[in-house]
Structure 1
Amino acid sequence: MNTKTSNPALGIFWMICTGLCFVGMTATVKLLAGRVPAAESAFLRYLLGLVFVIPAWRSLRDLRLTGRQLRLASLRGATQTLGVICWFFAMTRIPMAEVTAMNYLTPIYVTVLAVFFLGERLALRRILAILAALGGAILILRPGFRELDPGHFAMLGTSLMFGISYLIAKMITDELSPAIVVALLSITVTIGLFPFALAVWVWPSWSDLGILFLVACFATGGHYAMTLAFASAPVTVTQPATFLQLVWSVLVGAVFFGEGVDPYVVAGGLVIIGSVLFITLREAMLKRRVTPSGPDTKF
């Protein structure tokens, strides 16, 4: 970004708004309390969210995808579909703070996967940062010291699927506009979720539909605010603000949902956050950008 047009204060403000939207989205999903199955909740969230794709319908109508672009868009939709189902399932099983902390593993997955799919090289310091992040994940999960919930394994799968989705997005954003990339994701995920939702379908109440539409609003607002943040200041300036999501998740979970504050989860999350921050700063110094700045994948 041109430093003459950089506005660090505005960038940080928009990134704080991003975090608040994503925490709001997470808390809103919690309100469903499992009344609507995870796959159906995810489907309805994306279906209702298609209203935000309407402004791009002319571009979509005239779009002519190559075979490669179609395959990549379909693969991204499939991986995102699985990730979203796992995320909605995890939200019904484990505390908000654990969901948020484990979601920070996505950039670590991206860094590792980039070695195999984008030809990235891992220097010793980046390898050590990855190992530290894995240590943070172990600190959160503490296998052998407590009983792990299926929600924990779902979040591990969520981070991996979102990491693959992010990498595919990096591969096609040079060929398609960001608006088209987001629109294609919304459409393919809605289609991908439909059979899973149909298999467990229960008729939601009007209030639950309202909650899911609010989830879609928070998600869309979060990604729009994140785009404004990246346009206002360099990622190395805005990134630290993304990690306030962990603080807010702990507070919201404790105050509104009676979730205890687990110091191991907070400590593990901070270790992962530190690892992601180190990797991102190193990439900025080396003038390349692969790792996402935080949990900025599309829910």
Structure 2
Amino acid sequence: MTFDTDRPAKQRPLAAIGLRLITAILLALMFAMVKLASTRGVNLVETLFYRQLGSAVCATALVAGGAGFASLRTKRVGAHVLRMGLGMTSMALNFLAMIMLPLADATAIGFSVPIFSTLLAALTLGEATGRWRWGAVLAGFVGVLLIIQPGRSVVPLGGSVAVAGALLTASVTIMIRRLGATERAATTVFWFAISSLVPMGLLMLWFAEPHDNGTWAVLLAMALTGGLAQLTLTASLRLAPVALVMPMDYTSLLWATLLGVWLFAELPTHSTWLGAPVIIGSGLVILWREHRRARRSASEVGMAEAE
């Protein structure tokens, strides 16, 4: 079995949807393990290091079973380093949000990434953004405000961390788009995982702690679920368009809620039940407009070729 993510694959929508649903479960489990590890005394540096170690193993398997290590040559070392810095910072903020907030609340705020991505793409890449997508962006911000409720006397720090994490994650998506102009998908994934182990490995000299077998089992589960999610996510995008598979991501809110109740006896706040549907609806509108634009562009290309 090979994992060549750059060779065109036969489109299999049902398989892609299934893989994306599995991805949502795996990511929900990974974040639950992050939160569970923190309750067992694991610090954030350790969590990030072991998460990336699992990702590095899976990324190496992805390259070895696909285009091969010769495909990893790149002339954009600086861009990959910047992507690593942004990626690790956003991951740290997202992990902190999961630790500080109920899982469902942090997951719901994380759904605002497509909203921030649309805004940043318009500002930095000059992408055309019509009234539908601007309306979706504004509605999405309203959903975020409903969850974090900034009008209260004290805004929960976890909510601010979650919003900052979503904004930085959106910045990473813009960076990946730019890298995608010249780099293979597997190349970007591999260098992010491998390069991040350098600074995290150095930090581990000061932050590494001994743990009991139960805690090591939690960390192993976190690394495996995170690494496998990267593979299933990548595979789903090979088998079907983004607009078809991405709505499946919203099922992670269900799993986050169930895991929060089961592992931590926590329920989503009332504000999350109000804000989450607004954020999800906004994201679906953005995906719909992206799908419409992609179909229109493909149609225009086809007409040009016919002429």
- Superposition TM-score tier, normalisation by shorter sequence: 0.7 to 0.9
One of 45, 48, 64 as aligned partner of 2:51: 45
Q: Which runs of 5+ in 2 are unaligned?
A: 1-8, 297-307
Aligned match of 2:5: none
Aligned match of 2:27: 22
Greater gyration radius: 2
Identity among equivalent pairs (%): 26
- Displacement of 1:47 in angstroms is 2.5
Aligned match of 1:295: none
Q: Which runs of 5+ in 1 are unaligned?
A: 290-299
One of 105, 110, 117 as aligned partner of 1:110: 117
Distance of 1:246 and 1:136 partners within structure 2:
15
- In the alignment, is the contact (CA less than 8 A) between 2:54 and 2:227 conserved in 1? no
TM-score (norm 2): 0.84
More displaced, 50-59 or 179-188? 50-59
Closer/same/farther in 2, CA of residues 193 and 288 from structure 1, 3 Å limit = farther
Distance of 1:114 and 1:224 partners within structure 2:
26
Closer/same/farther in 2, CA of residues 155 and 261 from structure 1, 3 Å limit = closer
- Displacement of 1:241 in angstroms is 1.8
Closer/same/farther in 2, CA of residues 7 and 54 from structure 1, 3 Å limit = closer
Aligned match of 1:142: 149
Distance of 1:196 and 1:99 partners within structure 2:
26
- In the alignment, is the contact (CA less than 8 A) between 1:40 and 1:198 conserved in 2? no
Amino acid in structure 1 at the alignment position of 2:25: L
Distance of 2:51 and 2:169 partners within structure 1:
17
Aligned match of 2:15: 10
Aligned match of 1:99: 106
Q: Across the two proteins, how many residue pairs are aligned to each other?
A: 284
> 5 Å matches for 1:123-142?
123-142=130-149
Closer/same/farther in 2, CA of residues 21 and 62 from structure 1, 3 Å limit = closer
Provide Cα deviations, 1:26-49, integer angstroms capped at 9, x if missing partner. Answer: 111122134111122112221343
- Displacement of 1:16 in angstroms is 1.0
Aligned match of 2:305: none
- Displacement of 1:176 in angstroms is 2.0
Quote the RMSD (CA, aligned, Å): 2.5
